[in-house]
Amino acid sequence: MTAAAPATRQVAARATDLTKVYGSRDAEVRALDGVSLDVHAGEFTAVMGPSGSGKSTLMHCFAALDTPTSGSVLIGDTELYSLKDKALTELRRDRIGFVFQAFNLVPTLTARENILLPVSIAGRKPDAAWFDQVIEATGLADRLDHRPSEMSGGQQQRVACARALVSRPDIVFADEPTGNLDSTSGAEVLGFLRRSVTDFGQTIVMVTHDPVAASYTDRVVFLADGRVVDEMREPTAERVLEHMTALQTRQLGGQ
């Protein structure tokens, strides 16, 4: 279910000494505490950890949805937080794809219109051959004229995945993409994400709490207390569950 690590080990995104602090003095919370992490191109990476470990904060800083207190983030060779607002907006639009737990589709638009929204906003014409490839891979050909209210949760999330891929981003960030889905629909979405890495060479980073979802990935990075504490290659659901249980036990023991 997992692909081998790419031989080139090209870095698609890099966080260096990333710190994110909320509040101050007695109320200070260090959501990220000096995180350094490379995300390799053409890989499916999961980020996991106990509740409050900083995994969503890390993804939001990587994806330029939040600003770190200190440290740096590179997408390719571009330092995110040296960019002015307009350039940062364009980078998010053109080089980063997003898949959210809540789908975030526009209810008045059809599936086709939702998928093509990033391309339309950028003022570009879609690549018809690539669009057809993505639609075939997501199995949405017969749903393109339906609005979100006429689709199941799994179909809506596959629309969101297709939207994330249609502009051929450098990297896709997925935040608990199966969190609102039943196991069958979740497996369909994860299967598509896996295929987009294996067949299309996409780079994906997924925050998840689900060991089964993590088993679709090439690499799992574990966070605890705002720090990277371990990683696992060629994960299985059983190994990930054991690791997460040990982390949570350690966290409870330290309280």
Domains and CATH numbers, the chain: 42-62+93-253 (3.40.50.300)
pLDDT at residue 126, rounded to an integer = 87
* pLDDT band at residue 2 using 50, 70 and 90 as cut-offs: very low
pTM value is: 0.91
In 3D space, the residue among 95, 101, 56, 100 whose CA is nearest the CA of residue 78 turns out to be 95
* pLDDT band at residue 8 using 50, 70 and 90 as cut-offs: low
Compute the residue count for the chain.
255
Mean pLDDT, rounded, for 200-216? 96
pLDDT at residue 1, rounded to an integer = 41
Exposure string of 152-174, with b = 16+ CB inside 10 Å and e = fewer, is ebbbbbbbbbbbbbbbebbbbbb
- Of 120-129, 159-168, 183-192, 246-255, give the lowest mean pLDDT range: 246-255
Span 20-59, pLDDT tens digits? 999 888 888 899 999 999 999 999 999 999 888 999 999 9
Residue 201 has pLDDT above 50, yes or no: yes
- Could you tell me the two tokens for 225? 């207390």
Span 119-138, pLDDT tens digits? 998 888 889 999 999 999 99
Query: In this structure, what DSSP letter does residue 46 have?
Result: E
Q: Cα torsion for 200, 176, 213, 7, to the nearest 10°?
A: 40
